[in-house]
Amino acid sequence: MIEGVCHCGAVTWRFAGVPESATACNCTICRRYGVLWAYGHEGEDVNVAGPTETYVRGTALAFHFCRRCGCVVCWRSLRASETGARRIAVNLRLAEPGDVNALPVEHFDGLNTFDDLGQDGRTVAHMWF
């Protein structure tokens, strides 16, 4: 299990198991937030606790951040799947570095092509600086 917490400690998340990778996206919002995402399903392998505010982008995603310190915690899909599952991604930068440093980074072009660009050999440890 991996856990993350905002700067002030008011909002936490838990990811059951270990994600296969972290995703770095270059879309207009992710590059501004500077986040690295791990994907799952709310209430299944990902749980978020604590009070958040949201910023809704378009009709697909709501970005959640701590009301007190402003840290971006996660995004949640605005729509559930046919099975009722709701996609969620947590910000791995809120985890302790030692818990996520070895995860390979997947690159996603959310700005131009909406294509998965794969890995380039970097890990989360390379992205801290």
The phi, psi pair for 125, rounded to 5°, reads -55, -35
Q: What is the 3-state secondary structure (H, E, C) of the chain?
A: CEEEECCCCCCEEEECCCCCCEEEECCCCHHHHCCCEEEEEECCCEEEECCEEEEEECCCEEEEEECCCCCEEEEEECCCCCCCCCEEEEEHHHECHHHHCCCEEEEEECCCCCEEEEEEEEEHHHHCC
Per-residue pLDDT reduced to its tens digit, 32-89: 999 999 999 998 999 999 999 999 988 899 999 999 999 999 999 999 888 888 999 9
**In this model, does residue 129 exceed pLDDT 80?**
no
Q: Return the CATH class of domain 2-127.
A: mainly beta
pTM of the model: 0.92
pLDDT in tens, 98-128: 999 999 999 999 999 988 898 999 999 998 8
